[in-house]
Amino acid sequence: MFIIGELINGMYQDIAKAIKEKHKAIIQKCALEQVKAGASALDVNCGPAAREPINDIQWLVQAIQEVTDKPLALDSSKPQVIESGLKVIKNKAIINSTTADPEKLQALVPLAKKYNARLIGLTISAKGIPQNKDQRLELAAAIVAHCAEEGFPIDDLYLDPIVLPVNVAQAQMKDILESIREFKIISEPSPKAIVGLSNVSQGASARSLVNRTFLVMALAYGLDGAILDPLDKDLMDAAITAELILNKHIYCDSYLEAYRKK
């Protein structure tokens, strides 16, 4: 599974403080801890309160690149912030994210092509969050069609069905899971499926349990990647075990250790 560590985000107080005070060591420690725990890539988000995100994202990218060559997911709703990050990135890049809105696609797909970056597409539009599977698939198809027209490789496209908190949108969970499977049949080669996992447990009390149960189920529906907290060991163990059951790795008694040696 492609795991994007979510912890470098200005939404968290320690990270926000480190960005504000330009305290590199805190960011670098957070990067390395996530890599050690099994992250395949790292999300980089300046946070909602950042006053100078265009500068901050460059500082974050440069700080992280000093300690790891893992791919970085530039996470912002503003295309100019993403472009600013791309200008200084040396590692492989992931654009997190575009929506299905034409103006977003027109801004971000050319950037993804120019910088040879992977692209995360949210099945959401200016009209709002989709309410069922059909709306998700319609938006997904619009993103795939746009990418195909622009010559962006569909292999490098990750579609996110928008995971909603289970305590507010319980009726949609099954639709979200089924969307993951159906994303794969939109085109050949097929786009990949990814989720921002933690949202599923937003406001719930047993967050870790809800996260890992959803993740295991989503993997069974064909999920390829997730943005999550790799320091949650139970979550990582559950994901590795789910992939084992799906015959993605060869079993051995130390399979958890074997996976982490990768």
Partner 1 sequence: MAEVILEKWQQAVSTVNIGATRADGGSRSHVVKVGGESTLPFLFSEGSLPNRPVIAFELCDIVPADWPQELASAYGAGFGDPLSWAQKCVKEYQAKILCLRLQGAHPDFGNKSAEEEAGLISALLKKVDVPLIILGCGDDAKDNLVLPAVCQAAKGERCLIGEAVQDNYKTLVASVLADGHNIIAQSPIDINIAKQLNILISDMGLALEKIVINPTIGALGYGLEYAYSIMERSRLAALAGDKTMACPFIAYVGQEAWRAKEARAEAGQGIIWEMLTATALIQAGADILVMRHPLAVEKANNYIEELMRTNGV
Q: How far is the CB of 110 from partner 1 (least distance, A)?
A: 25
Judged by CB under 8 A, the chain residues 223 through 262 that form the site for partner 1 are 249-254, 257-258, 261-262
CA atoms within 13 A on the CB side of 233: 5
CA distance linking residue 78 with residue 250, whole number of Å: 42
Residue placing its CB nearer to partner 1 in the complex, 178 or 243? 243
Residue placing its CB nearer to partner 1 in the complex, 59 or 255? 255
Q: How far is the CB of 251 from partner 1 (least distance, A)?
A: 5
The angle that helices 207-220 and 233-245 make with each other, rounded to 10 degrees, is: 20
- The 3-state DSSP class for residue 93 equals strand
* Strand-pair partners of 119: 95, 157
Q: How far is the CB of 71 from partner 1 (least distance, A)?
A: 14
CA distance linking residue 204 with residue 219, whole number of Å: 21
Q: How far is the CB of 248 from partner 1 (least distance, A)?
A: 9
Residue placing its CB nearer to partner 1 in the complex, 11 or 245? 245
- The 3-state DSSP class for residue 74 equals strand
Residue placing its CB nearer to partner 1 in the complex, 52 or 155? 155
What x-and-dash track marks residues 152-191 binding partner 1 by CB under 8 A?
Answer: ----------------------------------------
Q: How far is the CB of 183 from partner 1 (least distance, A)?
A: 21
CA distance linking residue 64 with residue 214, whole number of Å: 30
Burial of residue 252 (number of CB atoms within 10 Å: 0-12, 13-18, 19+): exposed
Phi, psi at residue 176, to the nearest 5°?
-65, -45
Residue placing its CB nearer to partner 1 in the complex, 126 or 252? 252
Note the residues at the interface with partner 1 (CB under 8 A).
249-254, 257-258, 261-262
